[in-house]
Structure 1
Amino acid sequence: MSTGTIISIIIAVVGCILVVFFYMNDSINKRIEITINDPKFIKKVADDIRLPFLIFDEKGTFHSESGEATAYIEKIEPIFEDKRLSGFVVYPKGFLKEAPILQAINNDFRFTLPKKINTYDWKYRIPEFQGTVWADTGKYDEPPAVLFKLEIIR
């Protein structure tokens, strides 16, 4: 075999390897692009990044959740003193190393630091009645919802 033939074979083999490499690279890039634009994948990543949370009302009724928060929380029980909301007890389904973060969404309630009342449960108190009492002003058919958000630290 002549030197020119050997060089031609080497160039052809290198060319084939480069074509296969670029095709595989392009194919992998397309698969990645399709995967990251898939709504199921985006939801999964968002749920993994955010803390799971529950939206609930003053009766402890769950309205919304993200990140499968109900897998962590059994129930939320309101505490009433003198017929006024004075806090909540959060009953997790298992041990939570850190207290969940409780915040008011559409009202001015503030909470004291949570206290563990036994091995699992957390108590959140409203130091004194805050905000306004719903009054019959005739402006609304029914009182606005009082909602809260509980974020679970995993």
Structure 2
Amino acid sequence: MCSYTHPEDVPYANHFVRLRVGLSNFIRARVPPGGSSVLETGTNMVESHTVFFDALEWKPGTRLIGCCADITGAQKCPFATPSEAGVLLWQSGSFDCPAHTVKIRFICENFGMEEGECGLDSVRLHRLSDTFLLEPCQKNILSSL
């Protein structure tokens, strides 16, 4: 899960782009009223996973949704930020995807009256059995001790 693509059926004007602020990077979508933007990646989860990430959305009517899709194309979206205006702060989010998930999607939708924005950063996957939530680099370090 090292790359994401923009789905062909979503207008390209509404895509997520990488932004740099100082030494940091994150991705952001600007979405017009009534529009949406989708960021997705293919995956091959043979067991259930939790998707962790940092989310930013603060405009009224805009929300960020996290979804899992299976091989049949059926999509479940167990995560969504509230569509009410929030504070301009990064918030941690997570959702669980079942075994045999083939796509993970993040959707920024805007039902508000003005242009909306969603930000996304630090996306990570962990098996549900990984109770310590160790990142891969941490596992390598710990196993060498």
TM-score calculated relative to the size of structure 2: 0.28
TM-score calculated relative to the size of structure 1: 0.27
- Computing the radius of gyration from Cα coordinates, the structure with the larger value is 1
Structure in which a larger fraction of residues adopt helix:
1
Larger RCO, structure (CA 8 Å, separation 6 or more): 2
Structure in which a larger fraction of residues adopt strand:
2
